[in-house]
Amino acid sequence: MFTGLIRAIGEIERIAPVGGDMRVRVRTAKLPLADIALGDSIAVNGVCLTAVELDQGRFAADVSRETLAHTTLGDLGPGARVNLEPALTLSTPLGGHLVSGHVDGVGQVLEVREDARSWRLQIHAPAELARYIAPKGSICVDGTSLTVNRVVGCVFDLNIVPHTLQETIIGDYRAGTRVNLEVDLIARYLERLLLGDRAADAGGEAITLEFLRRHGFAG
């Protein structure tokens, strides 16, 4: 588990095919590795990876074909900047929100514009994720915990303050940038709970307004 508070901006040193998938080596910059052991988890742009090699100022992790297919890690090459966060501990302050490091889908930045010292971002999410994104709710973008300002269909808006621009890779975003999205895990589990026994059906009924009305959750 993670908090969505980025600890360092790392850099891809190498990403190479190994046995049908990939191994990535990341320079960790200011992220301390003293308390990280082989087998520990580190989120790279919001993707939970397992450290399989540790060296001075760098680590390596294997990236499966499943992860490559559902995240932006396959887009990265040497020199690419990435958000880094080690797994939380029981003493870690939860300043963001609970993040699993399991990416739900890839979105695309539609617009970046300045608003005083902040930036306003508009991001298009995959249609299947739209129902989990709510105004003033939490969303994780490339591993960064952010608050949704507005949602219209599959498009949501964010306000990025100067500190976040400086301490994450969001300052690199441009229209067209692909980003990893993880929705609020509570929303995902709530959907399954509302399905009740229907959750066991192979093609379980989707949560819609009509579904909520039939089961007394909406007027």
Task: Look up the pTM and report it.
Answer: 0.87
The answer to whether the 8-86 and 105-186 domains have the same CATH topology is: yes
Instruction: Find the mean pLDDT for residues 39-68.
Output: 96
Sign, CA dihedral 129-154-190-145, equals positive
The reported pLDDT for the residue numbered 215 is 52
The reported pLDDT for the residue numbered 67 is 96
**Pairing outcome for strands 58-63 and 21-27:** antiparallel
Task: Say whether pLDDT at 210 is over 60.
Answer: yes
Check whether domain 8-86 has CATH 2.40.30.110, yes or no: no
Instruction: Find the mean pLDDT for residues 2-13.
Output: 96
Instruction: Find the mean pLDDT for residues 82-110.
Output: 90
Name which CATH class applies to 105-186.
mainly beta
Domain extent listing, the chain: 8-86, 105-186
Residue by residue, DSSP assigns 18-82 as ETTEEEEEEE-TT---TT--TT-EEEETTEEEEEEEEETTEEEEEE-HHHHHHSSGGG--TT-EE
Q: How many helices (H) and strands (E) does the chain have?
A: 4, 12
How do residues 164-182 score in pLDDT, each as one tens digit? Answer: 999 999 999 999 999 999 9
